[in-house]
Structure 1
Amino acid sequence: MDELQEKYKVIIVDDEPIILRSLKAAIPWNDLQMEIVGEARNGELALRLIEDTSPHIVISDIRMPVIDGITLMKEVLSKNPKLVFIFISGYGEFEYAREALRQGAFDYLLKPIDHDELVEMLNRARTKLDEQKQNDQLIHSVQMLSLLARERLFAEITLGNARPLEHLKWLENSELESGYFMAVVQLDDYTTLSSQWSVEEKRLWLFAIRNIVEEWSLEHGVLTVFPFHNGEWILLFPGSLSASRRELGEHLIAGIKRYSKQSCSVGISRTTQGIDQLSTVYPLAAKALYQRFYSGLAGVFIDEEISFPSSKEVRYPKELETALIESIRTLNRDRMWSLFDELALFIESQAVPKDMAERLLVELIVVLYRNYEYLNINSDWSLHGLLSKMHNLGTLNEVISALKEEFGVRLEQGNKPVNREDTRSAIEKAKRYIESNYHKDLSIEEVAELADLSISHFCTLYKQITGYTFLEYVTHCRMERAKYILQSSNVKVYQIAPLVGYQDPRYFTQVFKKASGQTPTEYREEHTKQSH
């Protein structure tokens, strides 16, 4: 960076003074061509500080009262998507950190903070900001996308959603245009393992295996790697390595086994070209991977090497597949069950051996399972487990009955009407809780958990039912209480602030004036006169 160029502005958000002092003193800000332009003790103050200082980088604790780090980031990124957020999280907050990355964070650090790691992170952030400042159009390669953007992009396109391509035409000249093949890595017996692990153990195992896969990828020329489903990762290799597909797959399996003691299998596609082909090669790699259910052996499965019996050509029921997909998207269980009965008749009419019928069913099940993505109801439903269950059933009727049950139950979940009374009751419960605890450091996670709702669902419903956002209502309760105290007592303004949840009397005065149009003193004087 040119020495005459303006330094990048940084703000630090943390409620621990020792962390604020440590970061200011231990990081060579001047050498990094950066300067700290402000610090805040909570999300509310940080929001104001960001508006006042327009920083380039925000280093923030992920857990804060009222406005947590992720909520703060989403609010700010909606106005300035180029702002770089680096989060500090405590041990055991992996899920929050992963959510932060999914929502657009640049990176995160675990406490206690490693200053060298933060310096390296800030160097990367500066590089990113330099590139943005020079010319956004220069970001023309997939390798120059942040890890989160790459994962989101590749996952969307692999699912068949081409929408991102409309805004990313420059990717047409990326390294994927030169030819590549896909490997899908999946933990063997993931369903069984997952049931044995606690939530934290599951999170740590997947985190550890992801690190192993990523480190292996860096050493073996992988173009990109990203998690696709729980217990499943996708790797994209350059086409030049096509001749070594089996050796690469076996080496990867051995590496995962050596460092994690977990067994996995790999399905590998044929070579293709163009990022828009991701959704085409994924089913090929997945279909190859599921051959282990026929072979009974874990290992490497390559789609071009799969040999099907040639004694009789089996026609794939494309019309039934299309109709079943439509029944899923319209949440029509009865229609689905009827179509599964037709599927049984179709397979019987083909008069094929069980292994060939099973191949056909696996291909159909994979397609139907992926379409449940549209309903957002299969997050805890393992495709591996579903296929294992199908493989262990002895007759076609048993398989069809099991498919009706598996797909039907989850379709009912998507079709289950929202109980408006229960929803309103949960929001009213949350509202009463806020009214009783507004003077405390309330967090949105705490109140959403009380309502037994996800944070995003809680935010949406709370606004719909009350007309307020969570923060607006907390502020409303605080202001109403402050007005009552001002009208009915002689308590000094600086003493009222902590009674209604504000430790800083000056900030309380600013919020009060914004809400009422008057300072607390002016409000008291006016309403005292009126009472006389």
Structure 2
Amino acid sequence: MTARQEKYKVLLVDDEPIILRSLKVAIPWDELGLEIAGEARNGEVALRLIEEKAPQIIISDIRMPVIDGIALMKEVLPRSSKLIFIFISGYGEFEYARDALRLGAFDYLLKPIDHDELTEMLTRAKVKLDKQKENEQLMLSVQMLSTLARERMFAEFTLGNSRPLQHLKWLENSELEGEYFMAVVRLDDYAALAARWSAEEKHLWLFAIRNILEEWSMDNGALSVFPFYNGEWVLLFPGRLGEGKRELGEKLVADIKRYSKLACSVGISRSTQGIDQLSTVYPLAAKALFQRFYSGQAGVFIEEETPDTGGRDVKYPKELEVSLIESIRTLNMERMLVLFDEMAIFIEAQALSKELAERIIIEMVVVLYRQFENLNMQPDWSLEGLLGKLHGLGTLTAMINVLKQEFREWMLESNKVMAREDGRSVVEKAKRYIEDNYHKDLSIEELSEVAGLSISHFCTLFKQISGYTFLEFVTNCRMEKAKYILQNSNVKVYQVAPLVGYQDPRYFTQVFKKATGKTPTEYREEYTKQA
């Protein structure tokens, strides 16, 4: 039987034996290409069976003793994000079931169970699993990179770092060599949301949004999706979808609202070609997204649809922006305040109307705020609050004075934060977390949360202090653990892979051989001879 013909495994979880029996006999499992791998009467037993049987689909009662269905899903989804959960719910648990969908469930059905409805759900679930398998096979055969490495690679190019090209020759045949465009998705009022959420809630919400985006991308023809800043994701689309940009963006906003109840806005860039252009189109998509602050309403903002400037060719002070970013990056307050005065002089020299002057100032403020955010130095700051203050002012002098006052206070607070933050201890904390969780599906997003830094700031700091990229350190840690297991146990090679964080034994073997020069079997045999 080939891998394509293998049946997907289903775990049944319910504390009512009669429901378990009816599910086993009423569903045409064999016709659907599915098989029942096990059954559990509560979530605690289900957790053990998930580890032992590695099912792809879980059908679970939403209310159970010991560990209920949602608690079970919260426990396993962060480390097995492709698991499909279908919940069985009573009529009185409708809101509870909707919460399950928000947190990543595939679907739910109400009691009494309609077996035809469940069969239809399972058919859709199998289609999704088939798509996932095709994508995984494509990644293995063409790209030979984990999802984590791929995301980080795209993020590096978006930040303007082209160094990965030196090592990834396969990118010459990348889908990004054809025409594509970028969409930047950002949760509205993210700072306020993050302040309201606990650390665990924040992790679950971001995981839920990412889950929604990944499934949405698969269904709507996106080339890739990856997190960039906290509360922000980047999607890449093939150029052939360019004529329907607005419809695509509106569907994305509507679906995120539908499944998560959270509002977001989308900025979309012009089309381009070549992976090295990621760092060029990101500012274009982000700049389009700035229109959200001009309009005061969430929505879709397309870079080509620039606002009316009354026929004037208004020059944006890009050099001034670069200098201000540098002053913030180096926490040089004196230089920053001088540059704000130069901004006023620039606007006066062009004799801009109040509306155009306000547009330039707001665009600059958003860019600078993102710089503070990138350094993770904006714990209690409200971008929306500052923009509201600026909008209500009547003169350029008043606007510049408010900017200087607000950014001065932010800079002072940032200096305090930086003084308290010991970069080496932060990296050591992250390394310990990796060493304790190397067997899980670790992501840069997760480690950034642990470190309390933005993704890009964490990556830079980790590389500077440890000498390794995040991916290099995780891989090295996994290889050391794998060597220890091979040396000190009789665990079969294919069983070693999931113990050190790799779900695909073939991919584990490739990584191990690249790291040691030997396959796991060769390594064990050589060590046994020496011993």
Q: TM-score of the superposition, structure 1-length normalised?
A: 0.51
Indicate yes or no: 2:340 matched with 1:344. yes
C-alpha change, 1:119 and 1:285, in structure 2 (3 Å) is same
> Residues 185 and 54 of structure 1: is their aligned pair in 2 closer, same or farther, counting only changes over 3 Å?
closer
Q: Which has the larger radius of gyration?
A: 1
Pick one of 98, 106, 127 that aligns with 1:108: 106
Displacement, 1:115? 0.7
Q: Which amino acid aligns with 1:273?
A: Q
Distance 2:186 2:391 in 1: 17
Look up the match of 2:87. Answer: 88
> How far apart are the structure 2 equivalents of 1:267 and 1:132?
27
Whether 1:31 and 2:31 are equivalent positions in the alignment is: yes
Query: 1:49-71 CA distances to partner (integer Å, 9 max, x unpaired)?
Result: 34444545444567874693246
Deviations 1:5-33 (A, max 9, x none): 55443323344546534543443211123
Residue 127 of structure 2, aligned match among 124, 127, 136: 124
Aligned to 2:497: none
> Alignment length, in residue pairs?
378
Write the distance in 2 (CA, Å) between the matches of 1:12 and 1:263: 35
1:319 paired residue number: 323
- C-alpha change, 1:368 and 1:49, in structure 2 (3 Å) is same
Equivalent of 1:401, from 402, 405, 410? 405
Q: Residue by residue, what CA displacement relative to the aligned partner does 1:151-182 show, whole Å, maximum 9, x if unpaired?
A: 97799569739799789876664443211223
- Maintained 8 Å contact 1:57/1:85: yes
Deviation of residue 271 (structure 1)?
A: 2.0
CA contact (8 A) 1:226 1:235 kept: yes
Inter-partner Cα distance in structure 1 for 2:4 and 2:233: 45
Residue 282 (structure 2) aligns with: 282
2:9 is aligned to 9
Cα distance in 2 between the residues matched to 1:285 and 1:344: 25
The 1:95/1:347 distance shift into structure 2, 3 A limit, reads farther
Q: Deviations over 1:94-143 (max 9, x none)?
A: 666555x5xxxxx522343751443124312552575489676247699x
| Letter aligned with residue 178 of structure 2 | S
Q: Decide whether the 8 Å contact of 1:287 with 1:303 is kept in 2.
A: no
Q: Any idea what SS the aligned residue of 1:30 has? A: helix
Distance 1:153 1:311, change over 3 A: closer
1:321 shift after superposition: 0.8
Task: Identify if the C-alpha distance between structure 1 residues 61 and 230 changes in structure 2 by more than 3 Å, giving closer, same or farther.
Answer: farther
Distance 2:118 2:386 in 1: 46
Q: Per the alignment, do residues 123 and 71 of structure 1 end up closer, same or farther by CA in structure 2, a change over 3 Å counting?
A: closer
Please list the CA deviations of residues 314-336 of structure 1 after superposition, one character each: whole Å capped at 9, or x if unmatched. Answer: 44242331230343xxxxxxx55
Q: Distance in 1 between matches of 2:274 and 2:358?
A: 32
| 2:107 maps to amino acid | L
Alignment of 1:42-121 (within 5 A): 42-60=42-60, 65=66, 68-70=71-73, 72-73=75-76, 77=80, 84-86=83-85, 88=87, 91-92=95-96, 99=103, 101=104, 108-112=106-110, 114-121=117-124
Q: Give the alignment of 1:173-212 within 5 angstroms.
A: 173-183=173-183
> How many angstroms apart in 1 are the aligned matches of 2:51 and 2:277?
43
What's the offset of the Cα at 1:295? 7.9
- Identity among equivalent pairs (%): 40
TM-score norm. by structure 2 comes to 0.51
1:160 and 2:153 equivalent?
no
**For residues 324-403 of structure 1, what are the structure 2 equivalents within 5 Å?**
324-327=328-331, 335-336=332-333, 338-350=334-346, 351-352=348-349, 353=352, 358-374=358-374, 383=383, 386-394=386-394, 395=398, 396-403=400-407
**Alpha-carbon contact 1:184-1:286 (below 8 Å) kept:** yes
Q: CA deviation at 1:88?
A: 3.2
Structure 1: 5+ residue stretches without partners: 102-106, 328-334, 419-455, 458-532
| Partner secondary structure for residue 316 of structure 1 | helix
Instruction: Specify every segment of 5 or more residues in structure 2 that has no aligned partner in the other structure, as ranges.
Output: 423-448, 451-531
- CA–CA separation in structure 2 for the residues paired with 1:2 and 1:178: 33
Assess if the C-alpha contact under 8 Å between 1:63 and 1:69 holds in 2.
no
Secondary structure of the equivalent of 1:48? helix
Give distance in 2, aligned partners of 1:229 and 1:272. Answer: 22
Q: Separation in 1 of the partners of 2:8 and 2:380?
A: 43
Partner of 2:41: 41
After superposition, the C-alpha distances for 1:194-242 in whole angstroms (9 at most, x for unaligned) are 99xx999xx9xx99xx89x969x94xx7667889899988665543465
Secondary structure (helix, strand or coil) at the match of 1:270 reads coil
Equivalent positions of 1:482-497 (< 5 A) are none
Which segment is superposed worse, 107-116 or 56-65? 56-65
Note closer, same or farther for the CA distance 1:156–1:313 as it changes in structure 2 (3 Å cut). closer
Letter of the aligned partner of 1:366 in structure 2?
A: V
Q: 1:294: how far off?
A: 5.8
The 1:368–1:155 alpha-carbon spacing in structure 2 relative to 1, beyond 3 Å, is farther
Report the CA distance shift for 1:94/1:397 in structure 2 as closer, same or farther (over 3 A).
farther
Query: Any residues of structure 2 matched to 1:204-283 within 5 Å, and which?
Result: 218=220, 236-240=236-240, 244=243, 248-249=245-246, 267-275=267-275, 277-283=277-283
* Alpha-carbon contact 2:32-2:123 (below 8 Å) kept: no
For 1:365, the aligned partner's letter is V
Q: How far apart, CA to CA, are the structure 1 residues paired with 2:421 and 2:149?
A: 36
Q: Which amino acid in structure 2 is aligned with residue 288 of structure 1?
A: A
Amino acid at match of 1:319: S
Residues 390 and 402 in structure 1, CA contact (< 8 A), matched pair in contact too:
no
